[in-house]
């Protein structure tokens, strides 16, 4: 496979953009002499929506971009987006937080799940999907969204918002919930991890897709955090990680049997699932080893450029930890910043910061309204209740607001990381 110098890609991207002028195909001859490897290298570096447009240029481009290898390469290079699930109106927002886009404006689109299934997008004319109302977000992997219909049903579905492909799974889960959705590179299969309470322990089950074959794993004495119920794992080093749901020894005889009596819950706070061996174990969180129980609600695991990281809210301060050596579980606290400084920055520009006013009135804690999404290029993406979405540069201590035209009410329930891709569901 030929490799292009990264500095040439912006130039080639601009040339590629010239293919479309007022909806007409022009300048295709600029790329006709290039070998397939170079075309794939260029097209895999542009957003998934743009790749769809490029498929209309010629049969050659359409054939190249429909190869499974191309989809894998494109999703690996794609910039993550955010799915912000709001309480009011039942809307799910997809926000492209790549601030290097032309015009310096983020791309936003939202799915209105209450009034009618409707996909709108600024600066785009993608077709609208056929999604039913009351769909809950369960997981995201390689551009595929795992959702659940209704509050009481157990009907799960996979959906790609770019290709608009959708499949519904049979109702095979009478109880429990799906706590993980991942791709196994060895078998090239997508899998779901399901858990439910069985006696005094949690039974974990692997569901292979698309065969829906089930395999029971060993029972374990704890489960992922149940707040919110469908807590997404943080994927790093190919494994799934969660903050655990702690149960007191009085609530679980199995917990007392399988843990050391002298062990503090801090030593059993991060649940880990190995996607290759399918083993489950539990590890300590970084920092203090005797935290009070409420502290676990202030810790959030994140993916940071392929590494596992954690943000720990301590009052108005946030400690940012990075897992530097995965085999030895060696954590390093690399950054520390103040949420109050972000609130003051907001107030200086808008003359108002509801979060800061509530804090001054008392009875309100930062962890109640602060949600972290990811860390990318030393920037942490976070939301502050009704204030919006912000990127804080941990090295430069600078703040920038992620502009998103069309979002009037930032009553955000939960933020999720999602990467847009062309991964097809046709094999399912």
For 219-261, what is each residue's pLDDT tens digit?
A: 888 888 655 444 689 999 889 999 886 554 434 444 444 554 4
pLDDT tier, 385 (very low <50, low <70, confident <90, very high otherwise): low
Please count the structural domains in the chain.
1
d(CA 344, CA 351): 9
Alpha carbons 119 and 96: distance in angstroms, whole number: 15
Q: Which of 156-165, 246-255, 312-321, 373-382 has the lowest mean pLDDT?
A: 246-255
Q: What is the mean pLDDT of residues 335-344?
A: 86
Q: What is the mean pLDDT of residues 398-408?
A: 66
Q: Is residue 48 part of a domain?
A: yes
d(Cα 313, Cα 184) in Å, to the nearest integer?
33
More confidently predicted of 24 and 311? 311
pLDDT band at 157 (very low <50, low <70, confident <90, very high): confident
Domain containing 69 equals: 6-75
In a domain, 103, yes or no: no
Give the span between the Cα atoms of 234 and 179, in whole angstroms: 11
Order the strands of the 144-149 sheet from edge to edge.
Answer: 135-141, 144-149, 155-159, 166-168
User: How many alpha carbons fall within 13 Å on the CB side of residue 335?
Assistant: 21
Residue 182 lies in a domain: no
- pLDDT tens digits for range 248-295: 443 444 444 455 444 667 777 899 999 989 999 989 899 876 666 555
Instruction: Provide the b/e sequence for 169-187 (b: ≥16 CB within 10 Å).
Output: beeebeebbbbbbbbeeee
As a whole number of angstroms, the distance between CA 271 and CA 280 comes to 7
Q: Which residue has the higher pLDDT, 152 or 78?
A: 78
| Pairwise CA distance, residues 47 & 427, whole Å | 23
Least confident window among 58-72, 236-250, 270-284, 344-358: 344-358
Q: Is residue 47 part of a domain?
A: yes
Is residue 41 domain-resident? yes
Percent above pLDDT 90 for the chain: 17
Query: Mean pLDDT across the stretch 184-193?
Result: 88
Does a structural domain hold residue 203? no
Residue 230 lies in a domain: no
- Asked if 193 and 178 touch (Cβ cutoff 8 Å), the reply is yes
pLDDT confidence band for 115 (50 / 70 / 90): very low
Confidence (pLDDT) at 131: 37
Does 65 fall in a domain? yes
Region 14-20: mean pLDDT is: 53
What is the torsional sign of CA 153, 154, 155, 157?
A: positive
The confidence band for 13, taking pLDDT boundaries of 50, 70 and 90, is low
């Amino acid at each position: 496979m030929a490799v292009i110098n990264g500095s040439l890609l912006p130039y080639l991207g601009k040339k590629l953009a010239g293919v479309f002028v007022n909806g007409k195909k022009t300048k295709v001859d600029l790329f006709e002499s290039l070998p397939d490897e170079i075309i794939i290298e260029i097209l895999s570096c542009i957003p998934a929506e743009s790749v769809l447009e490029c498929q209309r240029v010629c049969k050659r481009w359409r054939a190249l971009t429909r190869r499974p290898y191309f989809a894998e390469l494109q999703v690996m290079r794609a910039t993550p987006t955010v799915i912000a699930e709001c309480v009011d109106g039942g809307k799910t927002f997809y926000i492209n937080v790549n601030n290097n886009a032309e015009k310096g404006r983020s791309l936003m689109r939202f799915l209105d799940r209450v009034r009618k299934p409707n996909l709108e997008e600024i600066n785009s004319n993608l077709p609208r999907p056929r999604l039913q109302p009351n769909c809950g977000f369960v997981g995201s992997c390689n551009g595929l969204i795992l959702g659940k219909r209704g509050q009481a049903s157990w009907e799960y579905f996979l959906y790609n918002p770019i290709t608009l492909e959708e499949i519904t799974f049979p109702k095979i889960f009478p109880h429990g919930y799906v706590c993980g959705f991942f791709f196994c590179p060895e078998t090239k299969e997508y899998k779901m991890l399901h858990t439910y309470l069985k006696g005094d322990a949690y039974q974990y089950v692997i569901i292979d897709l698309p065969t829906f074959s089930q395999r029971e794993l060993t029972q374990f004495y704890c489960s992922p955090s149940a707040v919110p119920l469908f807590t997404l794992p943080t994927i790093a080093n190919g494994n799934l990680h969660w903050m655990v749901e702690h149960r007191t020894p009085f609530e679980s005889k199995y917990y007392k049997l399988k843990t050391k009596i002298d062990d503090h819950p801090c030593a059993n706070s991060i649940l880990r699932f190995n996607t290759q061996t399918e083993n489950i174990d539990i590890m300590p969180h970084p920092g203090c080893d005797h935290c009070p129980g409420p502290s676990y609600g202030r810790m959030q695991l994140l993916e940071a450029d392929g590494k596992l990281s954690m943000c720990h809210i301590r009052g108005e301060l946030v400690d940012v930890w990075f897992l530097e050596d995965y085999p030895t579980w060696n954590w390093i606290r690399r950054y520390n910043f103040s949420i109050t400084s972000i609130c003051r920055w907001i107030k200086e520009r808008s003359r108002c910061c509801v979060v800061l006013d509530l804090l001054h009135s008392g009875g309100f804690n930062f962890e109640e309204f602060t949600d972290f999404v990811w860390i990318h290029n030393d920037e942490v993406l976070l939301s502050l209740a009704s204030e919006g979405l912000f990127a804080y540069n941990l090295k430069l201590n600078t703040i920038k607001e992620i502009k998103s035209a069309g979002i009037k009410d930032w009553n955000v329930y939960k933020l999720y990381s999602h990467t847009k891709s062309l991964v097809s569901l046709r094999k399912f």
